[in-house]
Amino acid sequence: MTASNGKTAIVTGASRGIGAAIASRLAADGFAVVVNYAGKAAEAEAQVALMRNAGGVAKAVQADVSKSAEMRLLFESAEKAFGGVDVLVSNAGIMQLATIGESDDALFDRTIAVNVKGVFNGMREAAARLRTGGRVINFSSSVVGLYLYQPTYGVYAATKGGVEAMTHVFANEIRGRDITVNAVAPGPTGTDLFLKGKPPELIDHLRKLSPLERLGGPEDIASVVAFLAGSDGKWINGQVLRANGGVI
């Protein structure tokens, strides 16, 4: 299997939602795409089948991004299948909400492990293995930067603030190899996971936060990632792109 543009992208957390949309878009743009998943193999394989049926090149690889050994194997699988890695999209993340006073150790530790250490593990492998001219695209959230930090988002927002800090630092550390490092920070996005359990009045409120008066779609976020991963994004580096329709 060979990508039409000769490049390979790893997308973590790519079996559904925003990650699946990113993987599909990058495959359509000519990348060979490694669809990473943590535990739901059937969803990942179904996503790969859709991409292949559309003419794309894709492979599903299981890895828990919070574990450094599994991140290393994820890169090795991509290299074995496609010859190297050019783009890392660290999309995998979890959101477990509780007030700081009610957050237990398990919630804190797991959120840090996936949202911060998972991104760190990816960048550490990218530092050694990403090919010249590559791209690192991390995921933050527009929760960071809101004029009013929302109750129950303390731990989650802290992890995304950490991702943004590491993004800025890594962009400077990896100089000299023509590799860009950026973060995308989505606002409210209409995925099944986001919409689940929310009453209609809350969804309507979130929709109206943007001057465009709609929720983002997974494809909106995928388009931003595709821009950063492609040749038109080569002069964007060390930035956080808040893809939220004008919420902030």
Q: The CATH number of the domain where 76 resides is what?
A: 3.40.50.720
Identify the segments of the chain with pLDDT beneath 70: 1, 147-148
In a domain, 193, yes or no: no
The answer to whether residue 194 sits within a structural domain is no
Q: Does residue 201 form part of some domain?
A: no
Q: What is the pTM of this model?
A: 0.96
- How many CB atoms are closer than 10 A to CB 191? 20
* Domain coverage including residue 229: 8-188+218-241
Q: What is the DSSP letter of 119?
A: H
pLDDT value at position 148?
A: 64
- Contact at 8 Å (CB) between 33 and 6? no
Q: Per-residue pLDDT tens for 93-114?
A: 999 999 999 999 999 999 999 9
Q: In the 8-state DSSP scheme, what is residue 231?
A: G
- Write b or e for each residue in 156-172: b if 16 or more Cβ atoms lie within 10 A of its Cβ, otherwise e: bbbbbbbbbebbbebbe
How many other CB atoms are there within 10 angstroms of residue 131's CB atom?
A: 17
H/E run at residue 170? helix 154-173
Q: Quick check: is 202 in a domain?
A: no
Report the number of distinct structural domains present in the chain. Answer: 1
Angle at 80 between CA 78 and CA 86, to 5 degrees: 40
Structural domain includes residue 247: no
Asked whether residue 196 is assigned to any structural domain, the reply reads no
Angle at 228 between CA 112 and CA 149, to 5 degrees: 40
Cα–Cα distance for residue pair 82/150, rounded to 1 Å:
43
**SS3 per-residue string spanning 184-227:** ECCCCECCHHHHCCCCHHHHHHHHHCCCCCCCECHHHHHHHHHH
Active site annotation includes 156: yes
Residue 43 inside a domain? The answer is yes
Residue 15 domain flag: yes
Question: What tens digit of pLDDT does each residue of 108-152 get?
Answer: 999 999 999 999 999 999 999 999 999 999 999 999 987 667 899
Q: Which of 37, 147, 149, 156 is catalytic?
A: 156
